[in-house]
């Protein structure tokens, strides 16, 4: 967010370009995968849910499983409940994993991924607003403050949903796993812009300088 205060990047309302955007997608996915491995595949649930069919599967295979199917498989075998793959927050989490993979295994494609259009419509990615306006490489469109917030919130919502599957079981020790995952609301972002004298409705990155001139 601090880069927005330099007034040097593209800004569309509360969504501003930032150099640190890409790392947010990687960290958000890593945080969910780490929690899954360290909390739900650890010694504690093995003791608490000893009869779960999860422990009959090869441990190395489960740990190496891609995160998206692991999110469905593990809670289903542990608690008898799991994510609906056609509903939120699973859909956004699966998309976030795709974004993370495309950035980590970047092969310099010129054609943007199909999901970029929908992220643009949702004002998560930066897009050229008008015909004739200068465009920029698609990875740069993901390097933005709302992309960071979406990645963070998607991880938070996924973790809270994951932990909720343990509710109603005899042991509630897993429920504390979500305490460090707090979503960031749009109102908090707008308040940040206003505190720094920036109109959150404006697309002009120089708007504060113009107002102070």
Tell me what pLDDT residue 134 has: 58
Give phi and psi for 101, each to the nearest 5: -65, -40
Give phi and psi for 12, each to the nearest 5: -120, 90
pTM of this prediction? 0.91
DSSP string, 137-152: -HHHHTSBHHHHHHHH
Ramachandran area for residue 202 (φ above 0: left; ψ -120 to 50: alpha; else beta) = beta
Cα–Cα distances in Å, from 12 out to 18, 32, 38, 93?
Answer: 12, 29, 39, 24
Q: What is the DSSP letter of 51?
A: T
Nearest CA-CA partner of 142 in 94, 174, 95: 95
Residue 152 CB neighbours (<10 A): 19
DSSP string, 69-129: HHHHHHHHHHHS----TTSTTHHHHHHHHHHHHHHHT----SSPPTHHHHHHHTTSS----
Strand pairing partners for 15? 12
Question: Percent of the chain, pLDDT > 70?
Answer: 91
Residue 160 CB neighbours (<10 A): 16
Tell me what pLDDT residue 102 has: 94
pLDDT in tens, 8-29: 888 999 999 999 999 999 999 9
Long-range interactions of 51-58: CB distance < 8 A, separation 24+ = 52/77, 52/78, 53/77, 54/78
Residue 31 pLDDT exceeds 60: yes
pLDDT in tens, 136-154: 788 999 999 999 999 999 9
Tell me what pLDDT residue 203 has: 85
Mean pLDDT for 33-37 is 94
Tell me what pLDDT residue 213 has: 33
Contact assessment for residue 126 and residue 135, using Cβ atoms and an 8 Å cutoff: no
pLDDT in tens, 182-193: 999 999 999 999
Residue 211 pLDDT exceeds 50: no
Residue 132 pLDDT exceeds 70: no
Tell me what pLDDT residue 75 has: 95
Tell me what pLDDT residue 210 has: 45
Nearest CA-CA partner of 147 in 102, 178, 116: 116
- Find all residues with CB under 8 Å of 141, minimum gap 6, and list them: 112, 116, 120, 125, 126, 127
Tell me what pLDDT residue 208 has: 53
């Amino acid at each position: 967010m601090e880069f927005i205060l330099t007034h040097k990047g593209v800004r569309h309302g509360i969504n501003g370009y930032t150099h640190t955007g890409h790392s947010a997608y990687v960290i958000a996915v890593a945080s969910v995968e780490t929690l899954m491995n360290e909390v739900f595949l650890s010694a504690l649930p093995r003791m608490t849910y000893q009869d779960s069919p999860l422990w009959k599967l090869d441990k190395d295979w489960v740990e190496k499983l891609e995160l998206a199917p692991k999110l469905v498989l593990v809670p289903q075998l542990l608690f008898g409940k799991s994510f609906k793959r056609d509903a939120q927050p699973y859909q956004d989490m699966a998309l976030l994993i795709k974004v993370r993979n495309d950035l980590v295994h970047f092969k310099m494609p010129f054609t943007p991924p199909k999901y970029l259009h929908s992220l643009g419509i949702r004002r998560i990615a930066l897009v050229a607003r008008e015909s004739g306006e200068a465009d920029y490489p698609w990875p740069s469109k993901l390097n933005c403050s709302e992309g960071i917030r979406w990645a963070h919130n998607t991880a938070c919502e996924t973790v809270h949903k994951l932990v909720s599957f343990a509710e109603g079981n005899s042991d509630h020790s897993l429920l504390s796993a979500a305490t460090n995952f707090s979503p960031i609301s749009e109102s908090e972002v707008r308040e940040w812009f206003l505190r720094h004298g920036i109109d959150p409705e404006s697309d002009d990155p120089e708007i504060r300088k113009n107002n102070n001139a």
